[in-house]
Amino acid sequence: MANSMRGLTQFIADIRGARVRELEEKRINKEMANIRKRFKDGNLDGYQKKKYVAKIVFTYILGYKVDIGHMEAVNLISSNKYSEKQIGYLAVTLLMHENSDFLRLVVNSIRKDLDDNNEINNCLALHAIANVGGSEMAEALVEDVHRLLISPTSQTFVKKKAALTLLRLYRKHPDVFPAEEWALRIVAIMDDPDLGVVICVTSLIMAVAQDHLEPYAVCYQKAVDRLHRLVIEHEYSATYAYYKVPSPWLQVKLLRLLQYYPPSDDPTIRSVLHNVLQTVMNNCAEPSRNVQHNNAQHAILFEAISLAIHLDTSSPLVSTAAVLLARFISSKETNVRYLGLDTMAHLAARADSLEPIKKHQGTIILSLRDRDISVRRRALDLLYSMCDIDNSELIVGELLRYLKVADYGLREEMVLKIAILTEKYANSYKWYVDTILELISAAGDHVGDEVWYRVVQIVTNTEDLQLYAAKVVFEYLKGPSTHESLVKVGGYILGEYGHLVANEPGYSPLDQFQLLHAKSQFCGAPTRALLLSTYIKWVNVFPEIKPQLLNVFERYRHVLDSELQQRACEFYALASRPDDDELLQNVCEEMPPFPPRQSALLGRLNKKQGDTEDKRTWVIGGKEANVDHEATKRPTLKMEKLANGSTGGSTGAGANEHINSLVGLDLTLTSSPTQMKAPLLAPHLSLAPPVAVGPNVERWFDKLTYHGEGVLYEDVQIQIGVKSRYHGHIGQLAIYVGNKVSAPLTSFTTTVQVGDPEALSVTFAKMPPTTISSRTQTQLLLHVECKKFFATSPTMTVSFLAGSHQALTIRLPIIITKFFEGVKLGQSEFFERWKLIGGPPRESQAIFPITLNAAGHVDLQKQEQVVSGQGFAILQGVDPNPHNIVAAGVLHTAVDGKVGCLMRLEPNKEAKLSRITVRSTSEDVAGEVQKLVQKPLKAAES
Amino acid sequence: MIHAVLIFNTSGVPRLTKFYSPLQQSSQVLVKKIFSLISTRPASLCNFLDAPELEECLGRKDKPDEKLRVVYRSYATLHFVFVVDSAESELGILDLIQVFVESLDRAFENVCELDLVFHFDEVHHILGEIIQGGLVLETNVDEIDSQVQVAAQARKTSFASANPLSLGVGSGGVGQRGGGLQTPLGWLTGKLAGVGAR
């Protein structure tokens, strides 16, 4: 400890006593020289090393560069005294960075501390890795850290640190982290009773799940369940209440995590989540007097609103949220205003309709004049996001007005945003040109070259605009002070289209020349060069001012700038040729429209996101900035129509392309659309553990195919039983899971995988519990609906923690015959239909061996049991042979309707064989039913 | 994630600097920049600040799009400043600062600026119990405090075993001050937990 080292305390006191910085530096240099000498002499004991390293660390904290003590810090780490070890680790984490060579030396000491039985040493080691661990450490230590996280003997504080350390290693070196293999085990920790552990593990999962959405999909259910318990059940340890709010950090994290996943399809999860969000919003209805309480509540609320927006922008929750946000943006508290605007920008970025936001346009515009620059920035983002074709003139006008008084730091961004909005939402070209010229004259220095290039391109590509543009730019140039960018635009446009206005009074060639030339003396060489090009064009179209122009070229032939000089010489030569020479005319031909260009935005958007940082769940900008980048390729601009209407089609397309590439200039837009847009993940059976097998498992399953209830699975730890009820295409399954051991099964997780969700839906009636206490049973209720024919049974994956993490997958006895209903038919009716259906392919037939009962007869009773258990009605007196079974049934499906099915079973005692024939109007059904009925009857192969 | 945690006093002297991502420039430059950003903001403004200026110091070169925000809170003579990216909730960080201050207060019994100076190692350990590698580790003040106590106890034991004759002098516990003039912050933190705190 600092004050157990008198030398250190003295050192600190001396530095504090130093009245001026020079004295402080002098004292530090003296001390460092002393330490360097001591280190060089060597032979220091642990205490001395600790003291000197502590001094070095203190010097470092003051902001001085230190280059000694690394080796001593490394030595201290391997000390067996905690006080020395601690200082050693502190020095390592502060003085070294992840690429430091010294870290190689500590890997082994760190590993030793990770394996130590003393948890405090584990913690020091974990903390060090989390701060300075690089890819080398990741390779060497990731297994040890993972072991600490999952070991049942780890203390909670070790688990927490291990989770975050693992996260660090994952970020530094994702390849060493078997994300999929560890997925279920790590997600299981989200059920830990200690909220601190849950926070840390959620952080870890959040980072890993972004890159591996599917393997971690179970965390969605876990997160919703945890939110439900925190927000609605109020189930948490009292110490985790922060000013009466249950762990706001965890809630925020969980709400954020849910935004990385596409909205769930499961109705149960949806309704639970809806309740949670509703409760969160209601909780904020009454503001409290306590600042911390308010802060925490709002932190959750803002995240909840973001989630609600993510789930469904048209839900009533979002309407409630919009009302709340409207209140926030006019709040007296600056923090709330700030976040209100920020979240509203999120809403604007996603919502289908901007109407609820537009209602508050006035307030938002006022926020541009807020006292706080942070709030002003958010208001700017929001205005940018909420701008559309209807309010663009107003918003752009407002932004232009504000631009003139805006902070310098903000201007550049504003200019780009204005330029983009103007192009995107221009109603008319006139407005576009007016606005951009106004923009250039108002904030010339902050206008990038791209902006004026674009004006030129658009004017060139739009014939109707050229005359107007020439006039307007002329008027702007008349102003007392004009920005260089404006002179460039003016030079280009007047050069190309000056002749269109030259006949009107006040716009004569001479006027144009004098106006432009007067500006040239204030401009740099590139602008002057551009003006020279303008003049040569004028030589072609305005012969009346040729002498003046030649005069200018003549003078520029002697300037020192080589570019200008070369141009002047060439232009002079060109202009001096005889009047009937065609060369000049050919050279100064009017510019053709610009060819379409690949948008810069697309290039940026397509850039792969390869790293492991947290991604934003939305980007600033209108809705279309957020729909996937496929959409940005589509022309989204209203201008296209205008262009097509007024000029040739090719011009229109060209303009449109240019507009797209302006949108791509540079700005926040460049952050790519979220990865969530990846197609919704169909459950992958390959990720679940393999389906449990074994003679018993088969037998239990077979029995359940014709029985409504029975055992599905049993081992030494758990027993799973099933009761089921079906009616038509709807069914209900109650699954009983019993814990047979003397300890509770924690982190109990069940998920159901359906082969083809189009054909069959299986959902939990409510969220399954997460714990099964010792020697008790819990019930899970499943709703089943058959929509179409299906052949594969759904599987259920059950995982739990009982010491170690265990998972097993079981086939559920949901088969097509469960949706059968028996039909009573007479003999003639039966045969009539039988013949109507006909032979293959709508018939399926097989011969299979059977076993005889003890008396040596065919087990008729069992045969009838199986057939009627599978939903058929056995028809008496249809077949002349009493041993044969004839049955009929109808399959009910929600989408494909009813399918009839007839069956005949002919057992033969002598041959110990049986023949089954199934006919159905659907080939699939005939084949499947034949297999299903045959299976429980077939003799085991000997 | 959290990129940096800084504490400096009203004259801009750093009392704690901890960076969770590599620095592109010297830390003194960064502290000065942040100080100049914050010290000019009156109390009525919000606690958040976009800081494009900091991106060249702290931002990652491979991720130029990342937006850094400064979340700060002032207590008596000290500014607590967190530099975070967009993955963190602003209000959440504000709460975290409060937790940090409450934890310091718990450990030093009425924390004051001097404690941070003389017990810089301890302050780092407490911070290490709250944030690890730029991520929130623990937010429960009781839990943080008990971890700090455990570590202090371990240090004490190892010190005592090394110096059997020390009779507990300088036993390295938490909360012992070198004496002398103090400017207590503690009475303030109590109030700060209540109404009107920023």
Count each helix (H run) and each strand (E run) in chain A, helices first: 40, 16
Scan for tokens 């501390």, then name that residue.
A113
**Closest approach of chain A CAs to the CA of B109, in angstroms?**
17
Whether pLDDT at A338 is above 70:
yes
- Read off the pLDDT band of A672 (50, 70, 90): very low
Residue A204 confidence (pLDDT) = 92
3-state SS, residue A70: helix
- Residues of chain B with C-beta less than 8 angstroms from the C-beta of A86: 121, 125, 151, 155
- Residues of chain A with C-beta less than 8 angstroms from the C-beta of B133: 130-131, 133, 164-165, 167-168
Three-state SS letters, A830-887: HHHHHHHHCCCCCEEEEEEECCECCCCCECHHHHHHHHHHCCCEECCCCCCCCCCEEE
B167: left (phi over 0), alpha (psi -120 to 50) or beta: left
Q: How far is CA A585 from CA A86, A547, A551, A590, A645, in A?
A: 84, 18, 20, 9, 31
Given an 8 Å threshold on Cβ–Cβ distance, is A292 in contact with B158?
Answer: no
Judge contact between A809 and A795, C-beta under 8 A.
Answer: yes
- Read off the pLDDT band of A940 (50, 70, 90): low
Euclidean distance between CA atoms B107 and A53, whole angstroms? 24
Residue A224 confidence (pLDDT) = 92
Candidates B91, B121, B194; nearest CB to A2 = B121
CATH of region A103-176: 1.25.10
Judge contact between A785 and A729, C-beta under 8 A.
Answer: yes
pLDDT tens profile A810-829: 888 888 888 888 888 888 88
Which of B31, B46, B94, B141 to probe by mutation at the A interface, max A CB count within 10 Å?
Answer: B46
- Read off the pLDDT band of A643 (50, 70, 90): very low
Residue A622 confidence (pLDDT) = 59
Residue A276 confidence (pLDDT) = 92
Query: From the CA atom positions of chain A, what is the Rg in Å?
Result: 39
DSSP string for B161-197: HH-TTSTTTT---TT----S---B-HHHHHHHTSTT-
Name the segment(s) of chain B with CATH classification 3.30.450.60.
Answer: 2-152
Please provide the size of chain A in residues: 942
pLDDT tens profile A182-201: 888 888 888 888 888 999 99
Report whether A491 belongs to an annotated binding site: no
ipTM above 0.95, yes or no: no
- Read off the pLDDT band of A610 (50, 70, 90): very low
- Residues of chain B with C-beta less than 8 angstroms from the C-beta of A199: 136, 138-139
**What are the backbone dihedrals phi and psi of residue A742, each rounded to the nearest 5 degrees, phi first?**
-90, 5
Candidates A47, A292, A409; nearest CB to B98 = A292
What lies within 8 Å, CB to CB, of A521 at 6+ separation is: none
**Residue A203 contacts B, CB cutoff 8 Å:** yes
B2-152 fold: Beta-Lactamase (3.30.450)
Q: What is the mean pLDDT of residues A610-623?
A: 55
- What is the distance, to the nearest Å, from the Cα of residue A146 to the centroid of all Cα atoms in its chain? 26
Residue A689 confidence (pLDDT) = 62
User: Of A37 and A690, which is predicted with more confidence?
Assistant: A37
**What are the backbone dihedrals phi and psi of residue B7, each rounded to the nearest 5 degrees, phi first?**
-125, 130
Cα nearest neighbour of A297 on chain B: B91
**Residue A296 contacts B, CB cutoff 8 Å:** yes
Euclidean distance between CA atoms A544 and A549, whole angstroms? 10
Percentage of residues in chain B with pLDDT exceeding 90? Answer: 12
Beta bridge partners of residue A461, listed in sequence order: none
- Residues of chain B with C-beta less than 8 angstroms from the C-beta of A292: 95, 98, 193, 197
- Both ends of chain A: CA-CA distance in Å? 78
Whether pLDDT at A357 is above 50:
yes
Top mean-pLDDT range of A88-92, A292-296, A691-695, B194-198? A88-92
Report whether A54 belongs to an annotated binding site: yes
- What is the distance, to the nearest Å, from the Cα of residue B25 to the centroid of all Cα atoms in its chain? 21
- What is the distance, to the nearest Å, from the Cα of residue A397 to the centroid of all Cα atoms in its chain? 34
Euclidean distance between CA atoms A583 and A273, whole angstroms? 76
Beta bridge partners of residue B135, listed in sequence order: B132
Q: Does domain A387-587 have CATH number 1.25.10.10?
A: yes
Which of B32, B155, B171 to probe by mutation at the A interface, max A CB count within 10 Å?
Answer: B155
Mean pLDDT (chain A) is 80
In chain A, residues 239-258 whose CB comes closer than 8 Å to chain B: 239-240, 242, 247-249, 252, 256
Residue A607 confidence (pLDDT) = 38
Q: How far is CA A780 from CA A159, A349, A549, A752, A812, in A?
A: 31, 40, 91, 12, 13
**Residue B155 contacts A, CB cutoff 8 Å:** yes
User: Of A374 and B184, which is predicted with more confidence?
Assistant: A374
- Read off the pLDDT band of B163 (50, 70, 90): low
With 0-12 / 13-18 / 19 or more C-beta atoms within 10 angstroms meaning exposed / middle / buried, residue A6 is exposed
Residue A4 confidence (pLDDT) = 63
Give the single-character DSSP code of A178: -
Residue A678 confidence (pLDDT) = 38
What lies within 8 Å, CB to CB, of A583 at 6+ separation is: A574, A577
Given an 8 Å threshold on Cβ–Cβ distance, is A61 in contact with B14?
Answer: yes
Q: How far is CA A241 from CA A194, A294, A332, in A?
A: 13, 13, 27
Three-state SS letters, A422-457: HHHCCCCHHHHHHHHHHHHHHCHHHCCHHHHHHHHH
Work out whether the CA dihedral A130, A131, A134, A137 comes out positive or negative.
negative
- Residues of chain B with C-beta less than 8 angstroms from the C-beta of A331: none
Report residue A644 as tokens.
Answer: 């097509």
Whether pLDDT at A876 is above 50:
yes
Whether pLDDT at A542 is above 90:
no
Scan for tokens 């958007």, then name that residue.
A605
Report whether A50 belongs to an annotated binding site: no
**Residue B56 contacts A, CB cutoff 8 Å:** no
Report residue B70 as tokens.
Answer: 């400064």
Euclidean distance between CA atoms A63 and A59, whole angstroms? 7
Which of A122, A222, A206 has the alpha carbon at shortest distance from A162? Answer: A122
Residue B66 confidence (pLDDT) = 67
Whether pLDDT at A105 is above 60:
yes
Given an 8 Å threshold on Cβ–Cβ distance, is B66 in contact with A613?
Answer: yes
Q: What is the mean pLDDT of residues A404-418?
A: 79
Report whether A47 belongs to an annotated binding site: yes
**Residue A298 contacts B, CB cutoff 8 Å:** yes
Which range, of A499-513, A784-798, B114-128, averages the lowest pLDDT?
A499-513
Which of A360, A366, A359 has the alpha carbon at shortest distance from A380? Answer: A366
Q: What is the mean pLDDT of residues A126-130?
A: 89
- Residues of chain B with C-beta less than 8 angstroms from the C-beta of A333: 46
Q: Does domain A818-941 have CATH number 3.40.640.10?
A: no
What lies within 8 Å, CB to CB, of A648 at 6+ separation is: none
Candidates B16, B87, B155; nearest CB to A83 = B155
Residue A273 confidence (pLDDT) = 92
Given an 8 Å threshold on Cβ–Cβ distance, is B140 in contact with A196?
Answer: yes
What type of residue sits at position A430? K
Whether pLDDT at A58 is above 90:
no
Q: What is the mean pLDDT of residues A789-800?
A: 86
- Read off the pLDDT band of B177 (50, 70, 90): very low
B131 C-beta neighbours (distance < 10 Å), count: 22
With 0-12 / 13-18 / 19 or more C-beta atoms within 10 angstroms meaning exposed / middle / buried, residue A339 is buried
pLDDT tens profile A566-600: 888 888 888 887 777 777 777 777 777 777 654 34
Euclidean distance between CA atoms A876 and A826, whole angstroms? 9
Mean pLDDT (chain B) is 77
Q: How far is CA A577 from CA A557, A568, A572, A920, in A?
A: 17, 14, 9, 95
pLDDT tens profile B30-79: 888 888 888 888 888 888 888 777 776 665 555 555 678 899 998 888 89
Q: How far is CA A158 from CA A56, A83, A106, A140, A200, in A?
A: 29, 19, 20, 19, 11
Percentage of residues in chain A with pLDDT exceeding 90? Answer: 5
Q: For residue A731, what is the enclosing H or E element?
A: strand A730-739
- Residues of chain A with C-beta less than 8 angstroms from the C-beta of B27: 63
Q: What is the mean pLDDT of residues A127-155?
A: 87
Whether pLDDT at A129 is above 70:
yes
3-state SS, residue A471: helix
Percentages of chain B per state (helix, strand, coil), in multiples of 5: 45, 20, 40
Whether pLDDT at B81 is above 90:
yes
Residue B166 confidence (pLDDT) = 55
Q: How far is CA A746 from CA A197, A713, A769, A806, A807, in A?
A: 15, 19, 10, 11, 12
**Residue B50 contacts A, CB cutoff 8 Å:** yes
A586 C-beta neighbours (distance < 10 Å), count: 9
Cα nearest neighbour of A666 on chain B: B65
Cα nearest neighbour of A6 on chain B: B170
Residue A1 confidence (pLDDT) = 45
Residue A638 confidence (pLDDT) = 35
- Read off the pLDDT band of A713 (50, 70, 90): confident
Report residue A238 as tokens.
Answer: 């009292």
Give the single-character DSSP code of A249: H
Q: What is the mean pLDDT of residues B189-195?
A: 43
CATH of region A645-814: 2.60.40.1230
3-state SS, residue A348: helix
